[in-house]
Structure 1
Amino acid sequence: METIEIGQSDLKSSRVGLGTWAIGGWQWGGTDEAQSIATIRAAVERGITLVDTAPVYGFGTSEELVGKALAEGGLRDKIVLATKVGLDWTDGDGVKRNSKPERLRAELEDSLRRLQTDTIDLYQIHWPDHRTPLEETAATLETFRKEGKIRAIGVSNFSPAQMDTFRSACRLDAVQPPYNLFEREMEADVLPYAKDSGLTLLTYGALCRGLLSGKMSKDRTFEGDDLRQTDPKFQSPRFEAYLEAVSELDRLARERFDRSVLALAVRWVLDQGPTIALWGARRPDQLDAVGDIDGWRLDDPTKAEIEAILARCVPDQLAPDFMAPPE
């Protein structure tokens, strides 16, 4: 599998990483421990060497499952372990942003325990907290790095201006924005900023919450706390428009490359710059197509045809703003 260095750190990762938001169960209709652990191990078997998680994914559940899978399988040394910090749900009033130094310290120790490790490879601020100076947050993470408890620092959902301020107090190696064929806001600012600044992009939502998997139909329903119940992309009539785009993209991928739309969507993300595509999976079989990503590229005529399909089917694409936690 293709690899990439993460910023200026000494970390090297596969260009496809395993995203474990869905494994945590919260906003994804629950979780299955045995199946989740099997999925994590299957990812490593397929050549994936980065696993990305967060405390808020199931309020500790995702981190616990990742830690258990890596420890019991003797896999910790084979992967770049990435998690996040800076969200707080402890007051019982929903999830809020909190990057105060004491909260970061408490989360760090909890994550180390749940992940069953002494060091987190990539530690990322999950969302900017406007009540806490960014320089203070960065300095706190720099302290963690000097203590040897983390190896590299990243941010998620930050603007270039926020990253500039953050970088005044520590070395920043990575940024994690949402990015896929249907959610491309970061092309206007975060992507060029990362290229100019030597940052690696861990892009989440490469398959747009399953929309680009090629496995959905207009009859698909979402139950429980599944966040797709409130995602406007999955509401009629927009859902049908996005599915039409997926159908045309799938036809293009199969006729031109003998690949699926899923492989096309991930390959497109990788071809945009210094990117790692986070591939969310809940079952081992959802990783079967990982081997279809390497060994080819999208040529300019294909990229132009992709743009034409998107312009024709979904001319007013929607941003993923609905996922942002409150200030």
Structure 2
Amino acid sequence: MERRKLPGTDREVSAIGLGTWVAGGAMWGGSDARLIGKTIEKALELGIDLIDTAPVYGFGRSEEIVGAWLDEAKVRDRVFLATKCGLAWDEAGRIRRDSSPARIRSDVEASLSRLRTERLDLVQIHWPDPATPIAASIEALETLREEGKLLWYGVSNYSAAQLAEATAAGRPVVNQVPYNLFEREIEEDVLPTCRELDVGVFAYGAICRGLLSGKFRPETTFPEGDIRSSDPKFQPPRFARYLAAVDRLRPMAYARNKSLTHLAVRWLLDQPGVTAALWGARSPSQIEQAAGATGWRLAPGELEGIDRIVREEVQAPIGPEFMAPPV
């Protein structure tokens, strides 16, 4: 497993991190706590020590599952544990942004309890909150860091301007953003700004919610409640164009004796400024595939070929904006 230094820290993390949004079950058709535990165990066997979760994933369920397994397996010290803060929800499951100092503190305290740990390695503000000054949110995280409740903090889904404001107020070490072969909006200014400010990048959605796994067909449908049922990329007529790109990318992977998923994640890891790619998995077999994405690099000609295929087949790309919680 490749390892990379997280800017602004003295720590290295695995280049692939285990993403646990699916562990929460909400919007992914439920989850099996026992199977998630086996998945974490397999990740550690592969050398994956970065585990990323959040309070809102299953409204606490993801953190509870991760925390219980780490505690029972007695492996907390082998893991770089990252979670988030700044999203609130009501009894109906309606989510709203709240990065107020009070909310950040309550989120961190609740995460410490659910994750059964005395300190968090990384806490990220999940989404920017226009109602709260960024400096106030950063100051709240700095206070919690001084109290020993967390080692480092970062942000998530921040624009280039918001990231610059955050770094002027403190030292966020990471910006977690959506990034994959099909969703490249951050290349315009967010990724260059991260490099300029020496802020790490955790890329989520590495295989674009399964689209880059190659397992879908034009007739594939998604049930109500599955996040892909509301993603415009998975709806006609766009779905066919994305699948056409997938069909052209697949031979490039096979020429390397790799899967399409390996190709997509390797492409991500080869992008300058990316610290880690988050690999969502809820079974050992799913995370086991991660090993094939490391230990090699794409040649310049292959990178150019991938760009050409995506450009020719997906002429009006759709971003991940549909996932953003209401402002």
Tell me if both proteins adopt one fold, taking TM over 0.5 as the criterion: yes
1:79 aligns with 2:84: no
Q: What is the TM-score of this pair, normalised by structure 1?
A: 0.97
**Which residue is equivalent to 1:222?**
222
**Which residue is equivalent to 1:123?**
123
Once superposed, which parts of structure 1, at least 4 consecutive aligned residues long, lie more than 3 Å away?
Answer: 90-93
1:7/1:172 contact within 8 Å kept? no
Gaps of 5+ in 2: none
2:99/2:137 contact within 8 Å kept? yes
Deviation at 1:218, TM superposition (A): 2.2
**Which residue is equivalent to 2:169?**
169
**Which residue is equivalent to 1:39?**
39
1:19 aligns with 2:44: no
SS in 1 for 2:169: coil
SS in 2 for 1:177: strand
Deviation at 1:11, TM superposition (A): 2.2
Matches within 5 A, 1:66-145: 66-90=66-90, 92=92, 94-145=94-145
1:212/1:265 contact within 8 Å kept? yes
Kindly tell me the number of residue pairs found equivalent between the two proteins.
326
1:254-298 CA-to-partner distances (Å, cap 9, x unmatched) read 12x111110010000100023210000111111222121222111
Rounded Cα–Cα distance in structure 2 between residues aligned with 1:135 and 1:269: 31
Identity across the alignment (%)? 48
Residues 52 and 93 (structure 1), Cα distance of their counterparts in 2 relative to 1, 3 Å cut: closer
SS in 2 for 1:218: coil
SS in 2 for 1:7: coil
**Which residue is equivalent to 2:321?**
321
Matches within 5 A, 1:155-194: 155-194=155-194
Residues 73 and 219 (structure 1), Cα distance of their counterparts in 2 relative to 1, 3 Å cut: farther
**Which residue is equivalent to 1:238?**
238
1:113-156 CA-to-partner distances (Å, cap 9, x unmatched) read 00010111011000010101110000000001111111111100
Q: Higher mean Cα deviation, 237-246 or 16-25? A: 237-246
Deviation at 1:93, TM superposition (A): 6.6
1:26/1:58 contact within 8 Å kept? yes
**Which residue is equivalent to 1:5?**
5
**Which residue is equivalent to 1:274?**
273
Q: Higher mean Cα deviation, 111-120 or 212-221? A: 212-221
Rounded Cα–Cα distance in structure 1 between residues aligned with 2:167 and 2:158: 12
Deviation at 1:92, TM superposition (A): 4.4
Rounded Cα–Cα distance in structure 2 between residues aligned with 1:201 and 1:190: 10
1:180/1:205 contact within 8 Å kept? yes
Rounded Cα–Cα distance in structure 2 between residues aligned with 1:190 and 1:91: 34
Q: Higher mean Cα deviation, 64-73 or 218-227? A: 218-227
1:288-309 CA-to-partner distances (Å, cap 9, x unmatched) read 2212122211111111111111
2:43/2:288 contact within 8 Å kept? no
Q: Quote the RMSD (CA, aligned, Å).
A: 1.2
Rounded Cα–Cα distance in structure 1 between residues aligned with 2:224 and 2:65: 21
Gaps of 5+ in 1: none
Rounded Cα–Cα distance in structure 2 between residues aligned with 1:102 and 1:195: 31
Q: Higher mean Cα deviation, 131-140 or 238-247? A: 238-247
1:29/1:224 contact within 8 Å kept? no
1:206-250 CA-to-partner distances (Å, cap 9, x unmatched) read 010011112222232222411100001111221121112112111
Residue type of the alignment partner of 1:260:
S
SS in 2 for 1:121: strand
Rounded Cα–Cα distance in structure 2 between residues aligned with 1:251 and 1:92: 45
Rounded Cα–Cα distance in structure 1 between residues aligned with 2:91 and 2:166: 27
Residues 259 and 93 (structure 1), Cα distance of their counterparts in 2 relative to 1, 3 Å cut: closer
Residue type of the alignment partner of 2:31:
T
Rounded Cα–Cα distance in structure 2 between residues aligned with 1:28 and 1:295: 30
Rounded Cα–Cα distance in structure 2 between residues aligned with 1:12 and 1:274: 15
Rounded Cα–Cα distance in structure 2 between residues aligned with 1:314 and 1:118: 47
Deviation at 1:27, TM superposition (A): 1.0
SS in 1 for 2:67: helix
Residue type of the alignment partner of 2:43:
A
Deviation at 1:90, TM superposition (A): 3.4
Rounded Cα–Cα distance in structure 2 between residues aligned with 1:247 and 1:85: 39
Q: What is the TM-score of this pair, normalised by structure 2?
A: 0.97
Residue type of the alignment partner of 2:204:
Y
1:17/1:278 contact within 8 Å kept? yes
